[in-house]
Amino acid sequence: MKATIHPYTLHFKQPAGTSRGIYTTRKVWYIHLYDPTTGHNGYGECAPLPNLSCDDLPDYEKILQEQCRTLENEGNIPYEALRNYPSMLFGIETAMQQLKSDSLQLWSTPFSDGKEGIPINGLIWMGNFDEMYRRIEEKMQQGFRCIKLKIGAIDFNKELELLHHIREHFTKEQIELRVDANGAFEPATAPSKMEALNAFQLHSIEQPIRAGQWKKMATLCNHTPLPIALDEELIGINQTDEKIRLLETIRPQYIILKPSLHGGIHGSEEWIRLAQERGIGYWITSALESNIGLNAIAQWCATLHPTLPQGLGTGQLFTDNIDYPLHIQGDCLWFNPEKISEVHFNF
């Protein structure tokens, strides 16, 4: 097997506001695996998020090269060696899965056959009041039944006004609302803010306070008026015993899994098993990957038979994305196997 790394820079159609600043470009490393005995190819995406991923390292490419040489020599994925490099593991294991399947249909599911879509949420990015208001209107007109708003970037009362606007027009049965605070609340004021948010019958709130405050988060989860989902809290928690300790200490209502941040497919499946053993729910989200990564996440997500809306709608963010047979119709992500032959890797 031969492994080749291709650095690539993606450009956002419009600046993407996140809890770690505003992104205009996105650096990724694509892995190309080739098996000369079968003639099969596999492509994977390694995409650490700056200042967020636990493997956002200055020597990232060097470490990735070393892991690829190990893969070439041994022919197997070094899972334990890659535990602390989740974005690398995700790229390598999904490239291996494509090499095995010899198709962009990485697993056999009704989604990969084009017969079923995966329900997704409509994501409203951080912005000023007018921008977020316009984006909410667009998502509702497109037919989304679950809308997720990133909050904490503008005045809290303005954010409540946005939620009030939605609830004036749609009941909780018509539109499910999720909010993501990205750790913006202070522990002292979080309970009162969550009480105010609860008036709008939200499905959940993601990461109300910043990660690393386990006891304070545990108190919030124990007394919260609305379900809490952990996201950033899981980053860097890669060992099994630490995952157990976090889940048993905080006892969240949900965890949100981003394979490139939370242990690749292998580590995410471990999170799911440990959460289910403790009665904790979950859903899957992409993390600003290009269509190579998004397709891999969606193909895997479909094997889990999701019923909740997932966070898989980010494939339309870039001007120079690699064209894949993925499209959003209504409030679902779909895969069209008839267009696989039109995909070309030009890097």
Each residue's pLDDT tens digit, 112-131: 999 999 999 998 877 777 88
- The answer to whether the beta carbons of residues 276 and 283 sit under 8 Å apart is no
Distance, first Cα to last Cα, the chain: 19
* Cα–Cα distance for residue pair 298/195, rounded to 1 Å: 34
Residue whose token pair is 């993606």: 10
CB atoms within 10 A of CB 44: 27
* Cα–Cα distance for residue pair 280/72, rounded to 1 Å: 38
Q: Residue 221 is encoded by which pair of tokens? A: 């989860």
Radius of gyration for the alpha carbons in the chain, expressed in angstroms and rounded: 20
Q: Which of 139, 193, 243, 258 is catalytic?
A: 258
| Among 40-44, 76-80, 247-251, 260-264, the least confident range | 76-80
Put simply, whether the predicted model's pTM sits higher than 0.85 gets the answer yes
Q: Which of 139, 150, 193, 243 is catalytic?
A: 150
Each residue's pLDDT tens digit, 174-185: 899 999 999 999
pLDDT-based confidence at 268, cuts 50/70/90? very high
Each residue's pLDDT tens digit, 304-342: 999 999 999 766 789 999 999 999 998 999 999 999 999
Q: In what order do the strands lie in the sheet with 21-35?
A: 2-18, 21-35, 40-46
Residue whose token pair is 């390598």: 92
* Cα–Cα distance for residue pair 139/204, rounded to 1 Å: 19
Each residue's pLDDT tens digit, 141-180: 888 999 999 888 788 999 999 899 889 888 999 899 999 9
Q: Has 150 been annotated as catalytic? A: yes
- DSSP letters, 262-293, are TTHHHHHHHHHHHHHHTT-EEEEB--S--HHH
- The answer to whether the beta carbons of residues 325 and 141 sit under 8 Å apart is no
Q: Has 258 been annotated as catalytic? A: yes
